[in-house]
Amino acid sequence: MSLSMALAGISLAAQPTVEKPHGFFGALATAAQWFIGLFNEGGTVFMGLLTGIIPTLVVLLTFVNALIRLIGPEKIDRLGEVAARPGLIYYPIRYLVFPALSVFFLTNPMCYTMARFLPERYKPAFYDSAVSFVHPITGLFPHANAGELFVYLGIAAGITGLGGQIGDLAVRYLLVGLVVILIRGILTEIITARMMSRRTVTEEAAA
């Protein structure tokens, strides 16, 4: 049956009444059929990804790239200087607004260079906060991390498969991501401070 279908696929003129493959070569033929079937299935998946994702992505990426070029990413340098200030009210700027804008404008991995505006004790926390945002942002702004889209797209494809709208997921992913990077930034800053003070104590003891 499978061979006859394959023959029909190869030439439409072939007679549909072909004997079922048997014997050694029959088994080989069935195995070959199964083997090529694996890749036919993969090809269908690839085509689905290509036509489903790429067209919108091309236009969206071009738009955001142009927008960033027209605004000029160097504008957020000034924000970095504000974010470096100590004090409780600067936490949301340092670990929320600043990393989010860095990831948006400079994208992964250049966004981590913005840590140069911060004092040493904030740098690990800023990195943690920025790197945790490179996936939540891809739901709405895929340009920020175009190489790692499938963390989001993979799961979003499940929702699409059920016939749901992925907008809801994208927005909530972004918003929860913002809360998470703030928490990560604050916690990592506390841990870094602890470890730094412990190190100075041991160094003094050793000296």
| SS3 state of residue 163 | coil
- Residue 21 CB, shortest distance to other proteins, in Å, is 20
Q: Which is nearer to other proteins, 14 or 160 (CB)?
A: 160
Q: Which is nearer to other proteins, 14 or 31 (CB)?
A: 31
Q: What is the CA radius of gyration of the chain?
A: 27
**Per-residue DSSP letters for 1-49?**
-HHHHHHHHH-TTS-S--PPP-HHHHHHHHHHHHHHHHHHHHHHHHHHH
- Residue 195 CB, shortest distance to other proteins, in Å, is 5
CB atoms within 10 A of CB 187: 14
Q: Which is nearer to other proteins, 4 or 192 (CB)?
A: 192
Instruction: DSSP letter for 94, please.
Output: I
Q: Which is nearer to other proteins, 140 or 149 (CB)?
A: 149
Q: Which is nearer to other proteins, 19 or 150 (CB)?
A: 150
- Residue 93 CB, shortest distance to other proteins, in Å, is 17
Q: Which is nearer to other proteins, 61 or 79 (CB)?
A: 61
- Residue 197 CB, shortest distance to other proteins, in Å, is 10
Contact 7, 1 (CB under 8 A): no
Contact 107, 145 (CB under 8 A): yes
* Listed residue (93, 136, 87, 134) closest to 110, CA to CA: 134
- Residue 6 CB, shortest distance to other proteins, in Å, is 16
- Residue 95 CB, shortest distance to other proteins, in Å, is 12
Contact 99, 108 (CB under 8 A): no
